[in-house]
Amino acid sequence: MDPHDKPEVAHNSTMPALHTTTDLARTEAPVTWKAYLICAFASFGGIFFGYDSGYVNGVNGSALFIHLVEGPDKDALSSPHSSLIVSILSAGTFFGALIAGDVAEMIGRKWTVSIGCLIYLIGVIIQMITGASGTSTLGDIVAGRLIAGLGVGFESAIVILYMSEICPKKVRGALVAGYQFCITIGLLLASCVVYATENRDDTGSYRIPIGIQFAWGLILGIGLMFLPDSPRYFVKRGMLDRAADSLGKLRGQPIESEYIQNELSEIVANEEYERSIIPSTNWYSGWANCFKGGLWQQKSNLRRTILGTSLQMMQQWTGVNFIFYYSTIFLQSTGAISNTFLISLIFTLVNVCSTPLSFYTVEKFGRRPLLVYGALGMLICQFLVAIIGVTVGFNHTHTDPTDATKTLANNISAVNAQIAFIAIFIFFFASTWGPGAWIVIGEIFPLPIRSRGVALSTASNWLWNTIIAVITPYMVGSQYGNLKSSVFFVWGGLCTAAFVYAYFLVPETKGLSLEQVDRMMEESTPRTSAKWVPHETFAASMGISGDVLSKDVIQDVEKSATTF
């Protein structure tokens, strides 16, 4: 659509340029309930993420499913089959996230998520027909999970991008934390559904957990169609009238209001500024731009790409998924816990209940303190689990008198203390690094590389998720590393790395617009970033403040508009 065909809704030549810090602080409209609801809806995408990670363990344990895959005389999946079925989803999500970065530049954020939902639904249908006569059970489930994974990859990268771009800056952290909250609810739902269906002796034991996923795809895919797309996407595509329209809807203000004009002019000016420094002329240079700039340069895209991808790597290195993927097996191996499902459920509940704390703390104290102190809390808990284990707890076992193939922990109280510290570790993760990593990757990239930067960071999350899922069984398996609870020395060590990393490398982005974050990262170091205050708008420095949709600016933005 040609912006010139539309009335110049946004022109307001009497609007003052913003120069003072107070002006800069008020460049956004007051947050309305409608804005909250629109932004919060997208966080529903987190349910896919959590549910998909969680339900497969139950399906893999269903007797009927095992018979279909391995034959009627087997009572467990073989290790290669089980690891293939679990990890194929992450392979799909890894590639899905990367592809989605490009798609979001071409067709917009919300349509990319909706397409992701469609791909996901196709994957679910293929998994649903698993076991239908004449098809290969293993082939169906693997193909279905690969395709569903592509959809989850689309959704997990682009929901974060979309939310970061549409949320008001004052509550952006809290709303993106809502996405993490939905991940935790997805994990909890998966545990409950699996618990309720695992003992069925019909195909419902695996078809019900699989089929329920259909609801998530439909709700998000259809719901998003009715929401406005990201104004930043429209600016990047040179569609300023649509950007103004979308911003007006998101902020609940008329498009000619000063709030909308100021915010839009800042987005436009930032885009022009970034493009003037690192232009992108084709698909290849669009990707290459993510890696431009020296490691030691303040204004470097490479630095931001490394920050986003390593932050997600660190989030996985905390070892949280060791608990969510393997806690049942780990607890069983202590020989001390009779109801391992209940303890796993408690871990999942702690995860759900602790996350909302971050809605408040991430805006009150900021991202940096959350990540620094969160890592500190986690490392203390993990070292305590490990130390208790080697001194009195789980690493001291004797042979089970009733079954010579099993061992029992000598000191049940010590094992209980270890379990309590694992729960406290989850509390720290859920209230800090869980949401924090997702919030920060949505904020640190400048618009020209944002969708690919977020995609790369999300892909890094899934890559490390897979690597950890594949190697941990070897670390704790009795026939391999047999580390028992000493595996927590490894997680404690990695959380120490995360603590140092957060202190030296994570900047404070609280309360800033995405454009102000861009400037802050140019002008401060991570350790001085919290003190940085906005002092000049991009709009003022580019000389377009107060005249956003004047013909000259429109032409300029249109000329430079790109899908790269």
Pick the closest to residue 393 from 333, 325, 320, 345 (CA basis).
333
How far is it, in rounded angstroms, from Cα 524 to Cα 532?
Answer: 7
Q: In sequence order, what are the residues at sequence separation of 6 or more whose Cβ sits closer than 8 angstroms to the Cβ of residue 464?
A: 312, 313, 316, 317
Considering the complex, state which of residue 46 and residue 61 has its C-beta at the smaller distance from ligand BGC: 46
Q: How far apart are CA 160 and CA 315, in angstroms?
A: 16
Identity of the residue, 53 or 397, whose beta carbon is nearer to ligand BGC in the bound complex: 53
Task: Select 324 or 538, whichever has its Cβ closest to ligand BGC.
Answer: 324
Nearer to ligand BGC, 46 or 448 (CB): 46
Q: Which amino acid is at 234?
A: F
CB 268 within 8 A of CB 235: yes
For ligand BGC, the closer CB: 130 or 321: 321
Residue 253 to residue 12: CA distance in whole angstroms: 15
Minimal distance, residue 430 CB to ligand BGC, in Å: 6
Measured from the CB atom, the residue of 329 and 412 that comes closer to ligand BGC is: 329
- Residue carrying the six token digits 């249908």: 125
Is 167 or 520 the residue whose CB approaches ligand BGC more closely? Answer: 167
User: How far is CA 423 from each of CA 42, 66, 75, 392, 535, rounded to the nearest angstrom?
Assistant: 29, 31, 31, 19, 44
**Between 9 and 182, CB nearer to ligand BGC:** 182
- Closer to ligand BGC at the Cβ: 293 or 319? 319
Strands (E), 34-103: none
Amino acid (1-letter code) at residue 481: G
Buried b (16+ CB within 10 A) or exposed e, 227-266: bbbbbbbbbbbbbbbbbbbbbbbbbbbebebbbbbbbbbb
The residue among 38, 10, 20 whose CA lies nearest residue 260 is 10
Three-class secondary structure of residue 300 per DSSP: coil
> At its nearest, how many Å lie between ligand BGC and the CB of residue 164?
15
Rounded distance between C-alpha atoms, residue 458 and residue 313, angstroms:
9
Q: Minimum CB separation from ligand BGC for residue 473, in Å?
A: 17
CB of 195 to ligand BGC, least distance (A): 18
Q: Is 533 left (phi over 0), alpha (psi -120 to 50) or beta?
A: beta
Helix and strand numbers (H, E) in the chain are: 26, 2
End-to-end CA distance of the chain: 19
Nearest residue (CB) to ligand BGC, 113 versus 188: 188
385, 425 contact by CB (below 8 A): yes
Contact 145, 88 (CB under 8 A): yes
Q: In whole angstroms, how close is the CB of 351 to ligand BGC at the nearest point?
A: 5
- The least CB distance from residue 465 to ligand BGC, in Å, is 5
Instruction: Work out how close the CB of 371 gets to ligand BGC at its nearest, in angstroms, rounded to a whole number.
Output: 13
Quote the least distance from Cβ 180 to ligand BGC, whole Å.
5
Look up residue 525 and give its amino acid.
Answer: T
CB of 466 to ligand BGC, least distance (A): 10
Q: Which residues bind ligand BGC (CB under 6 A)?
A: 53, 180, 183-184, 187, 315, 320-321, 324, 351, 434, 461, 465
Residue 56 CB, nearest distance to ligand BGC (Å)? 13
